[in-house]
A and B are shown apart, each in its own frame.
Chain A
């Protein structure tokens, strides 16, 4: 029996930002098939950089990104990769650029070759699946923060990716929208990697936890992901917990 190559594999990735002497990521090795992975770590440790390398937005100094066993060399290869991976930005305002919600959600499918009717249909279905029915003609920049986040997620899901890269998706969401997002993510059948500082959020959505320590990506073995009830003042308001 031959085993399928992992969906995404990183081999010996080293990356340094221009003008810095020490690399931000060094000899990173990682692979993902269909797992749900959480990624935690202090600010500026290279989590978002890692996502950008996977998507081909940044070119590593050394190392390779592989999609289903194929080495991605150059923009042309990454175009194929981007069809299969969805990247949710930290700031939804950067992600929503079309005037109306429907146009934004249909942008991806249209680029992937769908006809206008198909794109409309896919977008309608995606929005409905996220509980955003009736949002089609809303103006994107007039949505609330939570709505923007969900619409941004819809713009990615409409491309039917195999893997989702979510950069701090629960940031600045009210408890209700946060719960809604958790329910949505649990209901999706894609693999995902979620960057977050919100341990409870990761505990509800991920099965494995990784962190970046001393420029390397390592699984958190010593910290088991778990959830427990706890109490503190104003606990019903949005808050984060230390890692």
Chain B
């Protein structure tokens, strides 16, 4: 379910500390999310696209992921041009095809993809575990960090438990259909998953208590930032700075 297909690799993106990827990812996201300029959104999309290419992901997987996100922008393309109002290019049935609507849909598409590319290049190249620790090092409250890491860890377990139950049902001839039997079976599956997860959470808590846990989690130190990490951070931040200042030059 939650695989990390892009997190393993040997590019300069993979070997960087999560911290120096988190900071520019936030910066780029903010710039692209807040801009209303086509130039910034377009340049951002191209630059982050280049970063993504440099991180050398598997083309098939990355395209699939980009397509999935763009299903949402597709809906915008289906609705915005017809409902936005403003300058009309041509009437379409009883609605008007609006130029402003097309502009808005293009802008949102560029922004969305720019942010997506930067996340895929910068954040997807780290495991969630190292991102969690990076966030903590950057000052995120420890409780939130551990909530993130534990949810991530337990989601696997809950999902496996659900799959096991589902398999058990299928092996006994269960075929989902639009029937009361199906709904009842699914509600049982979900309920059992919840109950089992609850029990498991209790056992995990016991395991922690047995190993001396008393409410505070003590982190293992992370390795120090290297020269390359700082170089990487500066480069990407310069790119973000460039993006942010484009409107002042044009």
Q: Is the CB of B127 within 8 A of A87?
A: no
Instruction: Kindly identify which residue among A97, A99, A159 contacts B132, using a CB–CB cutoff of 8 Å.
Output: A99
CB distance from A147 to the nearest CB of B (A): 16
Q: Is the CB of B157 within 8 A of A102?
A: no
Contacts of A93 in B (CB 8 A): 157, 200
Does B242 sit at the interface, judged by CB under 8 A?
A: no
Q: Is the CB of A79 within 8 A of B214?
A: yes
- Chain B: which residue is nearest A55 at the CB level? B210
Does B171 sit at the interface, judged by CB under 8 A?
A: no
A93 vs B149: C-alpha distance in the bound complex, in angstroms?
Answer: 15
Q: Is the CB of B211 within 8 A of A108?
A: yes
Does A110 sit at the interface, judged by CB under 8 A?
A: yes
Contacts of B219 in A (CB 8 A): 116
Does A112 sit at the interface, judged by CB under 8 A?
A: yes
- Chain B: which residue is nearest A103 at the CB level? B220
A87 vs B220: C-alpha distance in the bound complex, in angstroms?
Answer: 23
With known contacts A108-B212, A111-B212, A111-B213, A141–B220 Cβ distance under 8 A: no
Q: Is the CB of B211 within 8 A of A159?
A: yes
Instruction: Kindly identify which residue among B128, B153, B211 contacts A155, using a CB–CB cutoff of 8 Å.
Output: B211
CB distance from B21 to the nearest CB of A (A): 17
Tell me the dominant secondary structure on chain A's binding face. Answer: helix
Does A12 sit at the interface, judged by CB under 8 A?
A: no
Does A30 sit at the interface, judged by CB under 8 A?
A: no
Contacts of A151 in B (CB 8 A): none
Does A143 sit at the interface, judged by CB under 8 A?
A: no
A120 vs B150: C-alpha distance in the bound complex, in angstroms?
Answer: 21
Digitize A75-90: 1 where CB-to-B-CB distance is under 8 Å, 0 elsewhere.
0000100110011010
Digitize B211-224: 1 where CB-to-A-CB distance is under 8 Å, 0 elsewhere.
11110001111000
With known contacts A83-B212, A87-B210, A99–B129 Cβ distance under 8 A: yes
With known contacts A119-B220, A141-B153, A112–B200 Cβ distance under 8 A: no
Q: Is the CB of B220 within 8 A of A82?
A: no
Q: Is the CB of B128 within 8 A of A99?
A: yes
Contacts of A183 in B (CB 8 A): none
Which bucket holds chain B's interface residue count?
20 to 34
Contacts of A119 in B (CB 8 A): 220
A145 vs B214: C-alpha distance in the bound complex, in angstroms?
Answer: 29
Q: Is the CB of B207 within 8 A of A95?
A: yes
Contacts of B218 in A (CB 8 A): 110-111, 116
Which residues of chain A in 160-205 are interfacial with respect to chain B, using CB atoms and an 8 Å cutoff?
A: none
A110 vs B212: C-alpha distance in the bound complex, in angstroms?
Answer: 9
Q: Is the CB of A89 within 8 A of B212?
A: no
Q: Is the CB of B210 within 8 A of A99?
A: no
Contacts of A91 in B (CB 8 A): 203
Instruction: Kindly identify which residue among A79, A94, A100, A139 contacts B212, using a CB–CB cutoff of 8 Å.
Output: A79
CB distance from B56 to the nearest CB of A (A): 21
Name which of B206, B207, B210, B214 has the most chain A CB atoms within 10 A of its CB: B210
CB distance from B196 to the nearest CB of A (A): 12
Q: Is the CB of B210 within 8 A of A94?
A: no
A167 vs B150: C-alpha distance in the bound complex, in angstroms?
Answer: 25
Does A15 sit at the interface, judged by CB under 8 A?
A: no
Q: Is the CB of A82 within 8 A of B200?
A: no
- Chain A: which residue is nearest B130 at the CB level? A99
CB distance from A117 to the nearest CB of B (A): 8
Q: Is the CB of B220 within 8 A of A120?
A: yes
A contacts, CB < 8 Å to B: 55, 57, 79, 82-83, 86-87, 89, 91, 93-95, 97-100, 102-103, 106-108, 110-112, 116-117, 119-120, 139-141, 155-156, 159
What are 9 A-B contacts with C-beta separation under 8 Å?
A57-B206, A57-B210, A82-B210, A94-B207, A95-B204, A98-B153, A111-B218, A116-B218, A119-B220
